[in-house]
Structure 1
């Protein structure tokens, strides 16, 4: 089974979605748009990940997942800094399709946001509800992410988009050190996703990603990596087949079992989709 571990849906709102500066994604993207794309690419299901920091976004994604069974799980948003975070998590735990939560930490000016005491209390509450947490950061936030992951050794974490290294320049220094530190912790996983939009949008080549993929594979091994398309954000730079091919070509020399893990088995186990 092939599972896309990372994609988004939205009803475009120009007042809210100011980060969408590329015309290719400034429109609605809903399950009816993705279903034929997944079918054409042999993908059996997906995980819908929040793109807006509101409980309304979580409700929206859960409703879509309830209506379309190819959406196998949802990574929503709850204010993990809130004093009543446990109450809000309890509310959403009534929906079995909620598999995890995410905060857009990459947008926080504090490079040590992950280490905030109030945020940490929210993270500590996730285990009670058996929810995963997606780490969305930029490379300058990686040192805090390493310390963060060490603080919560029993929490399931996954790093989105390889922590967005600079594929355009190919600079590995710094990023590699911290990715290897995260990979040394068995409760931390990593998504092979979001690469094309961190490269030269118009002129990227598959070879641009190989040094970074080599580090990720060595750091996490085939048992803790998962394919994700980042559709429809990826459309700014590549088609769905192109994004998928970057990963399938890279892992082609691995065993069939290892390829199956990366292309779906790991996501199913990590998010408890089955």
Structure 2
């Protein structure tokens, strides 16, 4: 596997802080970058993504990124709430690895105008945790800030094969904006109940989005180690889904590497410009 930028991995150290959302036994331990690198092959670089709404965790991720610059392309972190977010951003940018902060991550409910304005001024992307019902509102906000790239994590929360999934997929495919991208991530657990979805349904989802938004707005992420909850290899699943959807070699390279590299590299360059 060559030319892969894994745009969505998590690291956590349970000796440093607790993660209330982690309840599955397989995830209730520390996960470090070295383990990820041993467990995967062919990944060119990675983006570390916050797993806790805590700027202190983001500072730790940036420090890890600073120590592993040959591997870590960037960090998508948390600024906490709107109150004093600009000050937190300045503190993170000034610390170790601060130049590797490429985006911030929020829930759909927290996607506010002040946050979008802050992201715009700093040149950061905004990753959003959402459900399909949230997507029209997110897109409407994104259209008012065309200079900010908004990324819908895990295909906008689509549950592939769920009760309303085809209607939800249609929503994802029809309400997009040019500055909204779709993270082709978490595939191993995107089925009902967090199970691995059927191959043919993943292929249908992939083909629909490729036709609707193109490979230039789809980007791969493994969602490691959460992917361990599923039965599939997220790298193989993504490549198989793209092949089943009729993607050519250029489109596969775009989704697996180039889209994320373009989106997050641009953000990093603009952030560096604001810090000089």
2:77 touches 2:101 (CA, 8 Å); kept in 1? yes
Identify the residue that residue 248 of structure 1 maps to in structure 2.
239
User: If the length of structure 1 is used for normalisation, what is the TM-score?
Assistant: 0.86
Instruction: Give distance in 1, aligned partners of 2:141 and 2:28.
Output: 34
Deviation, 1:166, is: 2.2
Deviation, 1:142, is: 2.0
Which whole-Å deviations, capped at 9, do the CAs of 1:51-76 have from their partners, x for residues lacking one? 00111111010011111231110000
The structure-2 alpha-carbon separation of the partners of 1:114 and 1:52, relative to structure 1 and needing over 3 Å to count, comes to closer
1:62 touches 1:74 (CA, 8 Å); kept in 2? yes
Identify the residue that residue 32 of structure 2 maps to in structure 1.
30
Equivalent in 152, 159, 163 of residue 159 of structure 1: 152
Count of residue pairs the alignment pairs up: 258
Q: Please list every run of 5 or more consecutive structure 2 residues that lacks an aligned counterpart in the other structure.
A: 270-276
Identify the residue that residue 118 of structure 2 maps to in structure 1.
125
Which whole-Å deviations, capped at 9, do the CAs of 1:11-63 have from their partners, x for residues lacking one? 1369832222211111110011111223x2x1111000000011111101001
Deviation, 1:123, is: 1.5
Superposed CA RMSD in Å reads 2.2
User: If the length of structure 2 is used for normalisation, what is the TM-score?
Assistant: 0.85
Identify the residue that residue 266 of structure 1 maps to in structure 2.
259
The structure-2 alpha-carbon separation of the partners of 1:114 and 1:53, relative to structure 1 and needing over 3 Å to count, comes to closer
SS at match of 1:18: coil
1:90 touches 1:129 (CA, 8 Å); kept in 2? no
1:6 touches 1:49 (CA, 8 Å); kept in 2? yes
Deviation, 1:230, is: 0.3
The structure-2 alpha-carbon separation of the partners of 1:31 and 1:256, relative to structure 1 and needing over 3 Å to count, comes to same
My pick for the range that moved more, 187-196 or 210-219, is 210-219
Deviation, 1:233, is: 0.4
Identify the residue that residue 51 of structure 2 maps to in structure 1.
51
Q: Are positions 1:98 and 2:101 aligned together?
A: yes
Instruction: Give distance in 2, aligned partners of 1:190 and 1:162.
Output: 5
Q: Please list every run of 5 or more consecutive structure 1 residues that lacks an aligned counterpart in the other structure.
A: 106-112
Which whole-Å deviations, capped at 9, do the CAs of 1:168-209 have from their partners, x for residues lacking one? 4363344234312443x1111111111332314556422232
1:9 touches 1:30 (CA, 8 Å); kept in 2? yes
Which whole-Å deviations, capped at 9, do the CAs of 1:206-255 have from their partners, x for residues lacking one? 2232222222212220111111100000100135xx21111111223323
Equivalent in 184, 190, 199 of residue 198 of structure 1: 190
